Structure formats: C-alpha cells, structure tokens
Structure 1
Amino acid sequence: MKSFLFRLYLAWMKFRARFTTMEDNTIVVLNGSGRSGSNGYAFYKWLLVNHPEFNTTLVEPWPSSHLKWETWQKIGAARYVITTHQPFKVRKHQINVQLWHGVPLKRMGIMANNTKYRDNKRNEKLWHKTADIVASSSDLYETLMSACMAIETKKYHKIGFPRLDLLDSPVISKKQLLKDLFKTEDDQAQIGIYMPTFRYELEDKTIMDKIKEGNFFAFEDFDGERLNEELKRRHQYLIVKLHPYEMCLFSAFKSNYSNIAFLNNDYLFDHDYDLYELLGDTDFLMTDFSSIYFDYLHLNKPIVFVTNFLKQYEKTRGLLMGPYSEITPGISVNSEQELINHLDHLDNQQIANRRLYWLHLTSQVKGPYCEKVFKYMTQEYRG
C-alpha cells in the first residue's frame, strides 16, 4: 500500500513540475546513494568546481516524499536529470543520465530470486521510457545490466563512472584518516576497510542479532578483542562501514577497540566527503558480495572476500556470475580464525594477476570520468 501511494505521489508531483519553464543550463542530481560511493555526488562536486556556468542542484535523499515544492520546481526546470538508481524525469525533452551505482555482482530485477514479476515489468518499462544515456564501463557491464533490466544496447555509452575519479586523489592524507578515526599516529599503519552488502535481505534474524551484539562480521567464532589484538600486533587498522540499516542496529553497541573503528554517515556528511574520497588511503578491502570490489581493482590493492553467508545469499538472491571462487580475485575467509591466519599474507603475484584480469574485463574506459560524462551529455548526445 505504501509503495502504491508513493508512486501516486511521484506521478502527481511530476505532473505539476512539468509546467515549470525548462532552462538549458540547469542540472539536477537525484542522489540515492548517500555518501557511500555515489556517482551522482562525485559528479555534482565536480560540476560545482569545473562548470559554475551551469545551475546545478543536488537533491538527496532521493526518492523522498518530503521534498519542498521549490525542489520539485528545480527538477522540472532541469535540462539534465542525473540519477544513481532508477531513471527519472518529469518531461519528454529532459535528458536523463543514468550513472547507476556499480558493476553488478548480485542479481537484480528479472534475474533475482527474490523479486516480483509485476515490479520487474514496471522497472523494465521505466528504463525503456526514461533512461536516455546509461553510463557504461565495459561490454561485460552492459551484458550484466541488460540481463537484469532489459536495457537496450543503444542507450549505453562507454563514458565510465564519476566516482572512480575520486580514487586517485584522497581528500585527506592517510595520516589524517588514521587520526580522525583511530585517534593515533602510526608510520607503519596498514588501513583496511570492511564493506559488506545489505545482509538484511537474507531474512535471517540470527544474522541481525549477531550484528546488534557487535559481531559485525556475523562470524560464529567472532571475538572482537582477539581480532583487535591481532590487528594491533601487525600495525593494521580496520574501518568498518556497514549498510546504514545495519549501522542503526549497531548504534547501541559501545566498543573500546584501538584498531577497529566504525565509520558512519555522520562523519562523511559532516565533512562533505564521499567514501570514495577516502578509499585511496586504505591498503586493503574486505567485502562479501558488494560490487565495490570491481572499483577497488583500480587501486590494485589486496581484497579479502568474506564467505560465511555465500550459500545462503546465492539461494536468497543469487549472483550474476560464478563460481564465486573464480570471480573473486583475492583471499576468501569463512571465519575469524581464517581471517587471522591470512593477515600476514593478504597478497601474492597470482592474486595480483587475477585482479588485473578482472579490471580489464570490467573497465574498458580511461578517465577522467566526470569530464567524459559532461562532454557526452552536453555536446555529443543527439537523442
């Protein structure tokens, strides 16, 4: 019922916004990705610095039923509407630039095990009618996205993803990041970041209960103090960046870890950072089924894959490629003990070669990416 009423609200506001006069030098970024690697936010920040002649507005969170009418007027007046999730525009002659939020590893749309036929057909129609430019990084990306969303090939344009511009030039130094999050200085520091996918959709209460208790890995053998000591011995520091929903569950947990810090959206919003503006300072990534690993390949640094819910995830939602061991260029761990056993040996030449293989498969475009997106949508796109 809520979904139906929200669609009704969007339809009504779109209708009203159509009567706003459209202006050619106006861009609206509808950001549904927060600060956790948002192509929209990265592009917005770049536009403010490099193209002040354009009137650019950031709308977040998106979608929302709490937007002011003045914001809807700006959406209606925009010549270019930039989206990070589902395509959107209020009138035919607007140009929707779909940046999406990563190379997909998890099944979506018609490919997923946990979606509804009616919703899938609605989404297919939405992409067909509304998306004008779909930013792409590779042939593989286009194949995966079309398998899920039935996007026509003519909509794809290999212009890359704006957030990748942020990886090579961190907004603060590694020393400052260590000071901000761990309140320490360490010239030997290795900083890792753990970013799991949205585990709530596994519909397993026991997982959520573990997270509430502070077991952010949801390992059966989790011992936070022990892990902290093992990291400390090696001058390793672990940033934990959970999905916002999981972070809310976790908020009541108080820790005194010296080498484990929890990064929430408050830190990012307070400093006007996107997570990707900090990733370049890290030395390794830990994830499970998140597509962030495809982007992290650009840094050519070690990746650790956490597999304790692999079978469950494959059954509940599914992955687009497999076997998992063949598509993940890094060490896999299923428990805290396995993780500790690998902390001294996170990388080797064979793994590095596999990272390059997957980088070449998923990225056929060279940066700067923001510039490519802007040039294509304003100068080269012919409709």
Structure 2
Amino acid sequence: MKSFLFRCYMTLMKFLARFTTMEDNEIVILNGSGRSGSNGYLFYKYLQLNHPEYNVTLIEPWPSSHFGWKVWQKIGAARYIITTHQPFKVRKHQINVQFWHGVPLKRMGIMANNTKRRDNRRNEKLWHKYADIVCSSSDLYETLMSACMAIETKKYHKVGFPRLDALKNPVISKEQLLKDLFKVEDKDAQIGIYMPTFRYELNDPKIMERIKSGNFFAFDDFDIEKLNSALKERQQYLIVKLHPYEMRMFSNFKSKYSNIAFLNNDYLFDHDCDLYELLGDTDFLITDFSSIYFDYLHLNKPIVFVTNYLKQYEKTRGLLIGPYEDIIPGINVNSQRDLISNLDHLDNRQLRNLRLYWLNLTDQVNADSYCDKIFDFMTKGY
C-alpha cells in the first residue's frame, strides 16, 4: 500500500513540476547513494568548483516524499537531470544522465534470483522511457547492465564515472585519517578498509546476529582481540565501513581496539566528503561481493575477498560472473585464520597482473578527468 501511495505522489508531483519554465543552465542531481562512492555527490562538487555558469542543485536522499514544492520546481526547471539509481525526469525535453552506482557484479533486475517479474518490467520501461545518456566505462559494463535492465545499446556512452576521479585525490591526508580514526601517528602504517555488500538480503538470522554482536566479518572463528593483535604486530590499521543498515544493528558502535575503527556517514558529512575521497589513503581493501573492487583496481593495491557466505549469496541473489574464485584478482579467505595468515603477503606479481587485466576489462575510457569528459559530452556532444 505504501509503495502504491508513493507512486501516486510521484506521479502527481511530476505532473505539477512540468508547469515550471525550463532553464538551459539548470542542473539537478538526484542522489540516492549517500556518501559511499556517490557519482552524484562527487559530480555536484565538481560542477560547483569548475562550472559556476551552471546552477546545480543536489537533492538527497532520493527518492523521498518529504520534499517541498520549491524542490520540485527545481526539478521541473532543470535542463539536465542526473540520477544514481533509476532514471527520472518530468518532461520530454529534459536530458537524463544516468550514472548508476557501481559496476554490477551481483545479479539485479531480470537476472536476479530474488526479484519479481512485475517490478522488473516496470524498471525496464523506466530505463527505456527516461534514460538519455547512460554513462559507461567499458563493453563489459554495458553487457552486464543490459543483461539486468534491458538497456538499449544506443543509450550508452563511454565517458566513465565521477567517482573514479576521487580515488587518486584524497581530500584528507593519510596522517590525518590515522589521527582522526585511530588517535595515532605512525609513518609506517598500512591502512586497510573492509567494505562488504548489503548482507541483509541473505535473509539469514544467524549472519545478522553475528553482525549485531560485533562480528562484522560473520566468521565462524571471529575473535576481535586476536584480530586486533595481529594487525598491531604488523602496523596495520583496519577501517570497517559497513552498510548503514548494518551499522544501526551494532549494540556497541564505538571500537575500543587500537587498530580497528568504524567509519560511519557522520565522519563523511562532517568533513564534507565522500568515501572515495579517502580511499586513496588506504593500502588494501577487504570486501566480499561489493562492486567497489572494480573501482579499487584503479589504485592497483591489494584486495582480499571474504567468501564465507558465497554459496548462500549465489543461491539467494546470484552473481553475474563466475566461477567467483576465477574472477577475483586477490586473496580469497573464508575464516579469520585465513585472513590473519595472509596479512604478511597480501600482494605478488601474479595478483598485480590480474588486477591490471580486470582494470583493462572494466575501464576502456582511462581519462585524466572523467568529470570533464562527462560534462563536455552532456553539454556539447549529446
């Protein structure tokens, strides 16, 4: 019932917004990605800094039923509507630029094991009707997206993604990040970051209970004291960045451990930055099935893949590429014992070659500035 009423609300507001006069220098960014690799937010910052001739409005979180009429007037007046999730616009002559929010590794849309045909058909119609420019990074990206969303090939344009510009230009130094999160100065420190995918959809109370108790890896043999000691011995520091839903589950959010710290959105908002503007400070990534690993390839740094609930995830939702062990350019661990035993040798020549191989597959643009390329195309080339 709630979703039906929300669709009615959106339909009404879209209709009313059409009566606003459209202006060629108005850009609206509908950001549904928060501060974790948000193409929308990062492009907003770029436009404010580099293109003051345009009036740019960031609307977040999107979608929402809590926006006032002035917000909808902005949407109606915009020549360009930029989205990070479903494509959207209120009038025919607006241009929708679709960033999306990651190179798809997990199945979604018509390819997923846990979606409904009715919802999939609705999404297909939205992409067909509203998406004008679908930003792309490679043939592989286009193949994966179209497999899930049935997007026509003519909509794709290889211009890359704003989040890729942020990776190599941290806005906070590594030294400051260590002070802020770990209260230390350590010139020989290695910083790792753990970023798993959204695990709630596994629909497994056991996993959720483990996470709630502080076992953020959901390992059978999890022992945070031993993990912290192992990190401390190696001058390694681990930032834990979970999905916001999982962070809310924690009974004790603040870490009392010297080499493990939790990063939440408050820190990112307080520093007016996106997570990707900090990733360049890190020395290795730990993830599971999150597509962040495709982006992290641009840093050419070690990646560790946690696979203790791989089979369950493949059954519940599914992955687009496999076998999983053959597509990951990094170390595969399924227990804390495995993880600790690999902390001393996270990288080697074979893994570096694998990372470059997958980088070439997932990014054929390789631009000095992806934001410049996107801006020029949408305002001059389309």
TM-score, normalized by the shorter chain, greater than 0.5: yes
2:374 alignment partner, SS class: helix
Scaled by the length of structure 2, the TM-score of the pair is 0.99
| Contact 1:83 1:97 (8 Å CA) reproduced | yes
Offset from partner CA, 1:237-263 (integer Å, 9 cap, x none): 000000000010015344311100000
In structure 2, how many angstroms separate the alpha carbons of the residues matched to 1:79 and 1:378?
Answer: 10
| Contact 1:213 1:253 (8 Å CA) reproduced | no
Structure 2 match to 1:259:
259
Structure 1 match to 2:372:
371
AA matched with 1:65:
S
| Contact 2:213 2:251 (8 Å CA) reproduced | no
Offset from partner CA, 1:44-98 (integer Å, 9 cap, x none): 0000000011000000000111111111110110000000000000111000000
In structure 1, how many angstroms separate the alpha carbons of the residues matched to 2:80 and 2:278?
Answer: 28
In structure 1, how many angstroms separate the alpha carbons of the residues matched to 2:345 and 2:207?
Answer: 28
Structure 1 match to 2:327:
327
Structure 2 match to 1:141:
141
What's the Cα RMSD here?
Answer: 0.7
Offset from partner CA, 1:143-174 (integer Å, 9 cap, x none): 00000000000000000001100011100111
Unmatched 5+ residue regions in structure 1?
none
| Contact 2:162 2:370 (8 Å CA) reproduced | yes
| Contact 2:303 2:331 (8 Å CA) reproduced | yes
Offset from partner CA, 1:6-41 (integer Å, 9 cap, x none): 111111110111111100000000000000000011
1:355 alignment partner, SS class: helix
Structure 1 match to 2:359:
359
1:27 alignment partner, SS class: strand
In structure 1, how many angstroms separate the alpha carbons of the residues matched to 2:151 and 2:139?
Answer: 13
AA matched with 2:43:
F
2:125 alignment partner, SS class: helix
In structure 1, how many angstroms separate the alpha carbons of the residues matched to 2:206 and 2:16?
Answer: 46
Structure 1 match to 2:273:
273
Offset from partner CA, 1:329-360 (integer Å, 9 cap, x none): 00010000100000001010001100000000
Q: How many residues align?
A: 381
| Contact 2:253 2:262 (8 Å CA) reproduced | no
| Contact 2:193 2:286 (8 Å CA) reproduced | yes
Q: Following TM superposition, by how much is the alpha carbon of 1:175 offset from its aligned partner in structure 2, in angstroms?
A: 0.4
Structure 2 match to 1:79:
79
Structure 2 match to 1:23:
23
Structure 2 match to 1:210:
210
| Contact 1:27 1:79 (8 Å CA) reproduced | yes
How do residues 195-234 of structure 1 correspond to structure 2 at under 5 angstroms? 195-234=195-234
1:72 alignment partner, SS class: helix
2:258 alignment partner, SS class: coil
Q: Does 1:97 align with 2:97?
A: yes
In structure 2, how many angstroms separate the alpha carbons of the residues matched to 1:174 and 1:251?
Answer: 29
In structure 2, how many angstroms separate the alpha carbons of the residues matched to 1:147 and 1:254?
Answer: 41
AA matched with 2:292:
I
Structure 2 match to 1:63:
63
Q: Following TM superposition, by how much is the alpha carbon of 1:362 offset from its aligned partner in structure 2, in angstroms?
A: 0.4
In structure 2, how many angstroms separate the alpha carbons of the residues matched to 1:252 and 1:27?
Answer: 41
In structure 2, how many angstroms separate the alpha carbons of the residues matched to 1:328 and 1:234?
Answer: 25
AA matched with 1:29:
I
How do residues 307-346 of structure 1 correspond to structure 2 at under 5 angstroms? 307-346=307-346
Structure 2 match to 1:240:
240
AA matched with 1:357:
Y
1:24 alignment partner, SS class: strand
2:172 alignment partner, SS class: coil
AA matched with 2:82:
I
1:215 alignment partner, SS class: coil
Q: Following TM superposition, by how much is the alpha carbon of 1:138 offset from its aligned partner in structure 2, in angstroms?
A: 0.2
Structure 2 match to 1:286:
286
Structure 2 match to 1:185:
185
AA matched with 2:339:
L
In structure 2, how many angstroms separate the alpha carbons of the residues matched to 1:318 and 1:346?
Answer: 27
AA matched with 1:100:
W
| Contact 1:212 1:253 (8 Å CA) reproduced | no
1:206 alignment partner, SS class: helix
In structure 2, how many angstroms separate the alpha carbons of the residues matched to 1:261 and 1:65?
Answer: 35
Structure 2 match to 1:165:
165
1:14 alignment partner, SS class: helix
In structure 1, how many angstroms separate the alpha carbons of the residues matched to 2:108 and 2:200?
Answer: 16
| Contact 2:102 2:292 (8 Å CA) reproduced | yes
In structure 2, how many angstroms separate the alpha carbons of the residues matched to 1:253 and 1:100?
Answer: 30
1:80 alignment partner, SS class: strand
In structure 1, how many angstroms separate the alpha carbons of the residues matched to 2:300 and 2:7?
Answer: 42
Q: Does 1:51 align with 2:45?
A: no
AA matched with 2:221:
D
Scaled by the length of structure 1, the TM-score of the pair is 0.99
